[in-house]
């Protein structure tokens, strides 16, 4: 049996959380329906429950599938990508977004937080030979006539979010992707790292973790460049012209980005676990940000640095597998590791203005009949550059179309069954700041009320649908994508589902779902149209060339994929908000848990920490966990069947007038929905993961040393990686307890 104890502390937190926004109303506390009250009769929320107020579900779906319009999406894309909108630097876009949403008929406001953040003041990168400058980097991307925002006077310099100020001159070492293993390989080969600058290429792991490891090994700076060898087939070597003439990478393009330690905790580095409001106490930022300077550079400007390593130290091909050479051999780069000789050094200077400044989320809300069941939709608005036509504003354009569509339904008298909240986040790029602070701010309410969070970051940069989600949402995603026509009608009648590989990835990190999924235990999804294959035009991620001009020429010239992303989003939201029984599937969760455990067992086995104890013969450290998961599977199966039965009864009840029967059915459905709602929350472990306690979910977290990619059962995975058998037993026990608790929620 699930209980929702509203402790005095929770109540205090709750009232302070609601004090500052009139969107949610002052009487919000009254709206929270504790579990116990669900056992008594509850009146159906709709006048014609379960048909819905004002519009039938099928009329709503018609509106959501026919309203989004490519010309509108194009107009929104053009607006957001017309000028700089770095976190905390463009209030007018937040206000404009609020004004549009209000025009569409959705009550909205700008919600600020005061966060610790950096803006670039100055930088320098020079190669010195015998003290003389032999190469001075411009640290600029080329201004292209064909791409107007690449030449704006106030364009954003190339820099790293949360990078440290510093001015170092030192020898340097080529460190491949700068993964944990790459650095281990360097140490094993006896390469001197202390006091040196790391020259690493982008890719494989989150950039902040490259800097973190370099710093831990005593290195004094990090330079990260984009190697065309990681661009697949569409490269200059293969005869493709670079952007803007052709689809290959422009050699001057630079990937900006955050070097926060994303897998440690996201959000404002000085307020872990609580909201960054004016006057709150702040902690030192060094727990999640580097203290050595770093800069991102283009491959054009990496070439002289790499060439100067030719002949010095071992070459990359003589190192283990992941050290394959990059794509610059035709430029006389032999990928030697170095270190550079003492006479060859780099001067790396990075000057950042660290400040505490407001950022602005725009939040819209449509009150549903059930105020304690809430669906949240979010996309970030801030970008590293003036453009951002892919990341994130293809998602922003789609979100505006989603809200405009719901607005049309509202104008026809529709009221959703569940409350729907829309968010345009600021500060995502620095470290998911706007969404993390908001979740931390509204945590008690969200933990009580949130049913699901649906994130779209890069809504469109190609034609292939991709999705990551909590397993509870898998079936809902399949069902909705089956109902939406793809813009690709090579085979007539193809739906989004038909042209998709049907793979739903696990939740890692790297976008705004992180605080919802990993901190608050709210089942989340993240989707969009992305890379199709090795012959795609190169997407200039976090570069000036992720622009409107690129989008119109290569990304989505007709804006049909923007529109399709909007439809997937709104129809998924509608399915979650309108169906009498929340369309979750607990069986999928349980079977995913089994699958994830299989992969952990293999990992334990192949790392020599066999899950069969030698002394104990048949006794495995996962035996009890296996049993718990089996039990959860059986429980989930019968719970889903019960839920499906109620859903069928709700359909039959539709249009019939039998208040007594309807009331009873409604009460039963409320109970089931509350159980579904609380299931994901059961996977939170209050003490959090070892050494990174902000992360509370025992099943999903970003990999400690990968950042973007998700680890499943991070406690187990880290114990195995550390060779710590005691920790492995401890985490198997913790997870087992959590799985029993989850089974209890749906028993």
Q: Binding residues for Zn ion, per CB under 5 A? A: 391-392, 457
Q: Does 78 bind ligand NAG (CB under 6 A)?
A: no
Q: Which stretch binds ligand NAG (CB under 6 A): 192-200, 399-407, 486-494, 680-688?
A: 486-494
Q: Does 92 bind ligand NAG (CB under 6 A)?
A: yes
Environment class of residue 438 by beta-carbon count within 10 Å: exposed (0-12), middle (13-18) or buried (19+)? buried
Helix axes 659-679, 725-745, angle to 10 degrees: 170
Residues in region 146-175 near ligand NAG by CB under 6 A:
167, 169
Task: Show the tokens assigned to 728.
Answer: 């492995």
Which one of ligand NAG, Zn ion, none interacts with residue 693, CB within 5 to 8 A by kind? Answer: none
Q: Is 107 or 553 the residue whose CB approaches ligand NAG more closely? A: 107
Which one of ligand NAG, Zn ion, none interacts with residue 633, CB within 5 to 8 A by kind? Answer: none
Q: Is 182 or 268 the residue whose CB approaches Zn ion more closely? A: 268
Q: Does 430 bind ligand NAG (CB under 6 A)?
A: no
Q: Is 84 or 427 the residue whose CB approaches ligand NAG more closely? A: 84
φ/ψ bin of 394: left (φ > 0), alpha (ψ from -120 to 50), beta (otherwise): alpha
Omega cis (within 30) before 50? yes
> Which one of residues 252, 270, 357, 460 is an interface residue with ligand NAG (CB under 6 A)?
357
Which one of Zn ion, ligand NAG, none interacts with residue 663, CB within 5 to 8 A by kind? Answer: none
> Which one of residues 44, 68, 70, 84 is an interface residue with ligand NAG (CB under 6 A)?
84
Q: Is 327 or 462 the residue whose CB approaches Zn ion more closely? A: 462
Please tell me whether residue 224 adopts helix, strand or coil conformation: strand
Q: Is 344 or 684 the residue whose CB approaches ligand NAG more closely? A: 344
Chain-centroid distance of CA 569 in Å reads 16
Q: How far apart are CA 542 and CA 178, in angstroms?
A: 19
Q: Is 231 or 391 the residue whose CB approaches Zn ion more closely? A: 391
Which one of Zn ion, ligand NAG, none interacts with residue 392, CB within 5 to 8 A by kind? Answer: Zn ion
**Residue 512 CB: number of other CB atoms within 10 A?**
30
Task: Show the tokens assigned to 104.
Answer: 């569409």
Q: Which stretch binds ligand NAG (CB under 6 A): 137-145, 313-321, 377-385, 731-739?
A: 313-321
Which one of Zn ion, ligand NAG, none interacts with residue 391, CB within 5 to 8 A by kind? Answer: Zn ion
> Which one of residues 56, 181, 307, 466 is an interface residue with ligand NAG (CB under 6 A)?
307
List Cβ neighbours of 473 (8 Å cut-off, separation of 6 or more).
452, 523, 524, 525, 584
Q: Does 413 bind ligand NAG (CB under 6 A)?
A: no
Query: To which H or E segment does residue 135 belong?
Result: strand 132-136
Minimal distance in Å, beta carbon 493 to ligand NAG?
A: 10
Q: Is 343 or 355 the residue whose CB approaches ligand NAG more closely? A: 355
Minimal distance in Å, beta carbon 674 to Zn ion?
A: 33
Q: Does residue 81 contact residue 388 with C-beta atoms inside 8 Å? A: yes
Please tell me whether residue 103 adopts helix, strand or coil conformation: helix
CA–CA–CA angle 331, 336, 338 (5° rounding): 130
Q: Does 355 bind ligand NAG (CB under 6 A)?
A: yes
Minimal distance in Å, beta carbon 431 to Zn ion?
A: 12
Chain-centroid distance of CA 88 in Å reads 20
Q: Does residue 383 contact residue 155 with C-beta atoms inside 8 Å? A: no
Return phi, psi of residue 471, to 5°.
Answer: -55, -25
Task: Show the tokens assigned to 253.
Answer: 């393009």
Q: Does residue 80 contact residue 397 with C-beta atoms inside 8 Å? A: yes
Select the residue whose beta carbon is closest to ligand NAG and give its number: 25
Q: Does 519 bind ligand NAG (CB under 6 A)?
A: no
Q: Does residue 357 contact residue 88 with C-beta atoms inside 8 Å? A: yes
Minimal distance in Å, beta carbon 657 to ligand NAG?
A: 28
Radius of gyration of the chain measured on its C-alpha atoms: 26
Please tell me whether residue 237 adopts helix, strand or coil conformation: coil
Q: Does 501 bind ligand NAG (CB under 6 A)?
A: no
Relative to beta strand 344-366, strand 107-129 is: antiparallel
Q: Does 607 bind ligand NAG (CB under 6 A)?
A: no
Q: Which residues bind ligand NAG (CB under 6 A)?
A: 23, 25, 27, 79-80, 82-85, 89-90, 92-93, 107, 121, 167, 169, 284, 286-287, 307-308, 310, 315, 317-318, 332, 334, 347, 349, 353, 355, 357, 365, 367, 463, 475, 488, 490-491, 494, 499, 532, 585, 587-588, 601-602, 605, 640, 643-644
């Amino acid at each position: 049996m699930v209980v929702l104890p509203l402790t005095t502390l929770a109540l205090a937190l709750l009232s302070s959380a609601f004090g500052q926004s009139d969107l949610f109303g002052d009487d919000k506390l009254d709206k929270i329906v504790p579990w116990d009250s669900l056992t008594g009769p509850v009146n159906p929320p709709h006048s014609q429950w379960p048909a819905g107020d004002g519009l039938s579900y099928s009329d709503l779906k018609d509106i959501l599938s026919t309203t989004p319009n490519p010309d509108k999406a194009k107009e929104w894309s053009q607006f957001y990508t017309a000028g700089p909108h770095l976190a905390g630097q463009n209030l007018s876009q937040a206000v404009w977004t609020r004004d549009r949403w209000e025009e569409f008929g959705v009550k909205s406001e700008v919600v600020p937080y005061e966060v610790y953040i950096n803006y670039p003041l100055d930088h320098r990168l020079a190669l010195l030979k015998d003290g003389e400058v032999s190469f001075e980097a411009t640290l600029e991307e080329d201004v292209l006539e064909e791409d107007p925002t690449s030449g704006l006077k106030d364009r954003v310099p190339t820099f790293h979010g949360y990078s440290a100020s510093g001015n170092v001159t030192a020898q340097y070492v080529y460190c491949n992707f700068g993964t944990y293993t790459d650095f281990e390989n360097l140490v094993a080969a006896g390469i001197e790292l202390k006091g040196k600058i790391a020259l690493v290429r982008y890719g494989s792991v989150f950039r902040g973790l490259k800097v973190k490891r370099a710093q831990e090994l005593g290195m004094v700076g990090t330079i990260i460049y984009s190697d065309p060898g990681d661009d697949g087939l569409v490269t200059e070597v293969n005869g493709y012209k670079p952007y803007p003439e052709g689809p290959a990478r422009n050699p001057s393009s630079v990937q900006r980005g955050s070097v926060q330690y994303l897998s440690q905790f996201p959000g404002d580095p000085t307020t872990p676990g609580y909201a960054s409001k004016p006057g709150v106490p702040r902690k030192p930022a060094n727990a999640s940000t580097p203290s050595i300077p770093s800069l991102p550079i283009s491959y054009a400007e990496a070439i002289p640095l790499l060439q100067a390593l030719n002949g010095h130290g071992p070459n990359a091909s003589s190192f283990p597998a992941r050290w394959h050479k990059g794509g610059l051999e035709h430029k006389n780069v032999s990928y030697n590791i170095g270190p550079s000789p003492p006479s060859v050094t780099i001067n790396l200077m990075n000057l950042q203005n660290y400040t505490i400044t407001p950022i602005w989320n725009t939040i819209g809300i449509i009150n549903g009949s059930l105020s304690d069941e809430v669906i949240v939709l979010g996309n970030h608005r801030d970008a590293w550059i003036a453009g951002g036509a892919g990341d994130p504003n293809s998602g922003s354009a789609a979100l505006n179309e989603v809200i405009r569509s719901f607005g049309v339904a509202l104008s026809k008298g529709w009221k959703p069954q569940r409350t729907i909240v829309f968010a345009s986040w600021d500060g995502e790029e620095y470290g998911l700041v706007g969404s993390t602070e908001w979740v931390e701010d509204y945590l008690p309410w969200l933990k009580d009320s949130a049913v699901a969070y649906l994130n779209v970051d890069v809504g469109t940069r190609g034609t292939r649908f991709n999705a990551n989600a909590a397993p509870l949402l898998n079936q809902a995603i399949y069902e909705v994508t089956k109902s939406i026509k793809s813009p690709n009608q090579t085979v007539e009648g193809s739906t989004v589902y038909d042209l998709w590989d049907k793979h739903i990835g696990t939740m890692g990190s790297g976008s705004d779902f992180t605080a919802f999924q990993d901190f608050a235990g709210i089942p989340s999804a993240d989707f969009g149209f992305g890379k199709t294959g090795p012959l795609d035009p190169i997407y200039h991620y976090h570069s000036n060339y992720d622009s409107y001009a690129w989008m119109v020429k290569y990304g989505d010239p007709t804006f049909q994929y923007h529109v399709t992303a909007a439809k997937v989003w709104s129809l998924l939201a509608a399915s979650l908000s309108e169906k009498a029984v929340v369309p979750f599937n607990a069986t999928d969760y349980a079977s995913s848990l089994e699958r994830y455990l299989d992969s952990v067992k293999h990992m334990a086995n192949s790392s020599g920490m066999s899950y069969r104890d030698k002394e104990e013969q048949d006794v495995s450290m996962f035996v009890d966990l296996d049993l718990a998961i089996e039990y959860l599977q059986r429980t989930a199966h019968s719970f889903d069947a019960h839920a499906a039965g109620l859903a069928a009864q709700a359909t039959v009840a539709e249009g019939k007038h039998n208040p007594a029967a309807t009331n009873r059915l409604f009460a039963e459905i409320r109970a089931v929905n509350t159980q579904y709602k609380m299931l994901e929350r059961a996977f939170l472990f209050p003490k959090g993961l070892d050494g990174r306690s902000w992360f509370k979910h025992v099943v999903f977290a970003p990999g400690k040393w990968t950042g973007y990619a998700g680890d499943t059962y991070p406690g187990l995975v880290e114990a195995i990686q550390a060779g710590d058998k005691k920790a492995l037993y401890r985490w198997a026990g913790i997870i087992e307890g959590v799985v029993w608790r989850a089974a209890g929620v749906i028993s």
